[in-house]
Amino acid sequence: MIKQRITKSLKNLISKYLKTLKITGDLCFCIETPPKNINADFSFNCAMLIAKKINVNPKIIATEIIDLITKNIPELIESASMAGPGFINLIVKNQIFYEELEIILKKKDKYGKFSKNNKEKIIIEFVSANPTGPLHIGHGRGAAIGDSLARILKYLGYNVTKEYYLNDFGNQIFILAKSVEIRYRQLKGEKIELSKNHYQGKYIINIAKNLINGCKDFNKIDFKHEAVKYILQTIKNDLKNFDVKFDNWFSEKNIATTKDKNDKTEIDKVCEYLLLKDNAYKKDGAMWLASSKFGDEKDRVLKRSDGRYTYLASDVAYHKNKFKRGFSRLINFWGADHHGYIPRIKACVQMLGFDEKALNIILYQLVSFIKYNNHISQSSTMSTRAGEFVTLKEVLKEVGKDTCRFFFLLRAPNSQLEFDLELAKKKSVKNPVFYVQYVNARCKSIIKESNNRNNLVKNIKNINFNLLNTEEERNLIKQLTTFYDTLRMSEKTMSPHYVALYLIELADKYHKFYEKCRVLSNDINLTSARLKLVECVMIIIKNGLNLIGVSAPDKM
C-alpha cells in the first residue's frame, strides 16, 4: 500500500507548507500514476492548486515543494522533479518496494484485505431475471459484475449481502403459466395455438413434458407454481455452475400477498404512506406516483383503475424493505434498457424519506458474440417471450466458467462488450484468461523445480531484495504493489473490470521478467530473491483471480 503511505506523508508536508503561506482549509490534490511515457512512479498537481489560490507562477510553488520533499521524506522518495506547468513527478525508493514484498509474503492471501472495519451494511442486488425463462448472456454479464464487486467489497472489509429479487408475481407469471398450460394441452393432443403474447421458447415444452412425465392430472396442476419452480431451479443451477451464490432470494410475491394483522400487504402500506405524504394521488380511478416533483419526466401509475398494482409499486415496497432491514447502501445492477427507470426509483427513495445517494444504480451494456468475425447474437435483440436468446448455460458449455467470467469483466459495465467466442476457446497467450492463469502455473512450476534441485534456497534465511535491480524486476514489483489501489478503484467506480485489466498487465510484466531474468541460476542469493518475487506474483495472481471468481490452476 505504497500509494497510501506516500499520500499520507505528502498531505502532512503540504499541510505545514500551507500554513507558511497563510492558506486556510484543506487542499484536495490527487496523487496519480502518470502515463507510461513519463519516467515516474507518481505525479501530483498540488503546486498548480496552491498557485491559483495566491496568484503566483505554479513552477515557483513546485520548486519549493520539491525542496521540502527532498529534505523531509528522503526515506520514501528517491527523486522529485517538475514537469509541464507545475506537475511534480516522484520516483520512489527501491527499498520501499522491497518492504512491500515482505508484506505480501507475510500476509499472503490476506494482502490488501481488511477485517470488518465498516459498520455500513451494503446490499447488492443483481441478475434478478424474471423466472419466465433461462438466464441469457446479458444476465451472465450482470452476474459476473455483481458477484465480483461483492467479493471485492467483502475483501475490503464491508458488510455485504448479495440478493436476487425474484419477480414471481404479476402479469408475466400469469402469461408464463398460460404458455405452459397450452403446451401441455398440445402434447395431450388438443388443437390449440400459442399467441404472440405467450412464451415461445423450447423450455416451455420441456416444462410441459416434465409435468406429463410426472403424471400430473390436468385439473390438479398449478401451472403457475410448477412453471416458476422449474425455471427457478434452472436459474439456480446455472448460477451455481457460474460460481455465483446469493445470500438471499427475495420474493416479490411475499410483499404483494403476505398480509399483516390489519389485512395490509407491504405494497398496500407503502402506497398509503405515499398518499399520506402527498407524494401520490388518485386520478381517473388510478393511483399515481408524483415522481415529477423529484426529477422524473412525468408522474407514474402505482395502481391501475382495475385495482392491480404496477411493477413500480412492487419496486417501491421492495426498496423500502431494504432500508427496513437496516441496509444503508443499496447497489442495483440493471441492464442498460432500464435507463429510463432510474429517475422514478430515485424519486421513490426520496419520497420514503431516505437519501437518494444511498441508492447506487449501475447499468451494464450489451453483450455481442463474435464468431468468425460475424455477430451471432446480441443481447439487445434477446427476447425471453419470443424465445430468441443465447443462454448462459450454452456459453458455459462452450468456453467454461473461468473464461466466461473473465471475458465478461474485460470492459467497464457501461461499455458494450464483444465476446470473441473463438478466442475464448483458444489455449494460447492471445486468450487473456489463459495468459493470466498461465502465470500461476509457470510460477508453480519454477518453485517445484527449485525444490527438485535439493531446495536451492533452503538455507538462505536473509533474502536480499536489493539484488532485484533490473528494469523488468522493478516494473513487476511496482505492479504487485498496486493491487490494493486497484481494489479501491473498483470500489470507487463499482466496476470489477479494473481487477481483470490489472491481472493482464501483471501477467505481461511477469512474462517480460521471465524472458529477461533467469530465476534459477548458480547464484544462490539472486535465485532466492527471484524465487521470493515469483512467490509474490503467485500470491497476487491467486488473490486477484479469486476476487473475480476465476480459478488459478497449478498446471495448464
Asked whether 128 and 166 are in contact (CB, 8 A), the reply is yes
CB atoms < 10 A from the CB of 108, how many? 15
Could you give the CA distance from residue 366 to residue 319 in angstroms, rounded to a whole number? Answer: 26
CB atoms < 10 A from the CB of 17, how many? 18
* Residue range(s) of every CATH 3.40.50.620 domain in the chain: 126-257+365-399
The pLDDT of residue 514 is 97
Could you give the CA distance from residue 123 to residue 330 in angstroms, rounded to a whole number? Answer: 5
- DSSP letter, residue 262: T
Asked whether 543 and 112 are in contact (CB, 8 A), the reply is yes
The pLDDT of residue 370 is 76
CATH number for the domain formed by residue range(s) 126-257+365-399: 3.40.50.620
pTM recorded for the entire structure: 0.93
Could you give the CA distance from residue 365 to residue 380 in angstroms, rounded to a whole number? Answer: 9
The pLDDT tens digits of the residues spanning 255-302 come to 999 999 999 999 999 999 999 999 999 999 999 999 999 989 999 999
* Residue range(s) of every CATH 1.10.730.10 domain in the chain: 98-115+428-547
98-115+428-547 under CATH 1.10.10.10, yes or no? no
Look at the alpha carbons of 412, 418, 423, 424 in this order and tell me if their dihedral is positive or negative.
positive
- Any idea what the Cα angle at residue 499 is, between residues 491 and 419, rounded to 5°? 115
Burial annotation 169-186 (CB, 10 A radius, 16+ → b, else e):
bbebbebbbbbbbbbbee
* Residue range(s) of every CATH 3.30.1360.70 domain in the chain: 2-92
Could you give the CA distance from residue 300 to residue 293 in angstroms, rounded to a whole number? Answer: 11
The pLDDT of residue 455 is 61
CATH number for the domain formed by residue range(s) 2-92: 3.30.1360.70
Q: Extract the residue ranges of the chain whose pLDDT is less than 50.
A: 373-375, 377-381
The pLDDT tens digits of the residues spanning 484-543 come to 999 999 999 999 999 999 999 999 999 999 999 999 998 989 999 999 999 999 999 999
The pLDDT of residue 216 is 67
The pLDDT of residue 380 is 44
The pLDDT of residue 371 is 63
Could you give the CA distance from residue 456 to residue 523 in angstroms, rounded to a whole number? Answer: 10
Could you give the CA distance from residue 52 to residue 458 in angstroms, rounded to a whole number? Answer: 58
The pLDDT of residue 387 is 52
Could you give the CA distance from residue 259 to residue 281 in angstroms, rounded to a whole number? Answer: 23
Q: Which long-range contacts (CB under 8 A, 24 or more apart) does 420-429 make?
A: 420/370, 421/369, 421/370, 421/371, 421/376, 422/370, 422/371, 422/372, 424/398, 424/399, 425/398, 425/399, 427/556, 429/511
The pLDDT of residue 217 is 76
